[in-house]
Amino acid sequence: MKTEKWNLILLVLVGCLLIASCKKADTVSCTDKVGGTADPVKFSTNFNDMQLVESVSGLPGTEDSDKGLTFNASDQLVIWMDCKVGTPVTFCIQQRNASGKVMYNQSHNVQAGTSEINIGSFNANDYVIRVIVDNTLIKNFPFWTK
C-alpha cells in the first residue's frame, strides 16, 4: 500500500513538471534582466534600419562618444524603422544609472516597410532604449537629454 501511494505521488509530481516545462515563456519586458550585447543577426533578419530621431526635424541627435545621441529635454523623440517583416517589438527605455528606472515599456506590432513609434520627451538624464524581438535583445540605443 505504501509503495502504491509513493508511486502515485511521484506520478503526479512528474506530470506537473512536464506540464510546467511545456508552458510558453512570457514576453520579455523591462522588468526582466534584459541587457548586454544585442544580436546583430536577429536585427538584420527583421530590419533594414532603425534610428532614434527628433520628430519635427526627423534628424538624429548629435553623437556623443560617451553617452550616445544627444537631444534637448523638450525634443519629442521617435524610433524610425525600416522593417523587412511584420513582427511584435518591445521597446524598453531605462535610465542609465544605478536605479535603472523604467521610463517606457511597450510592445508594438510593426508592419513591413517604414514606420515610426513616438516615444515622447525625456527629462535631462542618460537613457538606453533596448529593442527586443522574440525575447532577444536586438539593439541598444544609448542617448541622453540636456
pLDDT in 10s for each residue of the chain, 146 residues: 566 655 555 444 444 333 333 333 334 556 565 677 899 999 999 999 999 999 999 999 999 878 899 999 999 999 999 999 999 999 999 999 888 889 999 999 999 999 999 999 999 999 999 999 999 999 999 999 99
Residue 9 belongs to a domain: no
Residue 110 belongs to a domain: yes
Residue 7 belongs to a domain: no
Task: Give the Cα separation of 38 and 59 in Å (integer).
Answer: 23
Q: Which three cell numbers stand for residue 128?
A: 538606453
| Domain tally, the chain | 1
Residue 70 sits in which domain range?
26-145
CATH of the domain at 67: 2.60.40.1930
The pTM assigned to this predicted structure is 0.76
Residue 19 belongs to a domain: no
Residue 17 belongs to a domain: no
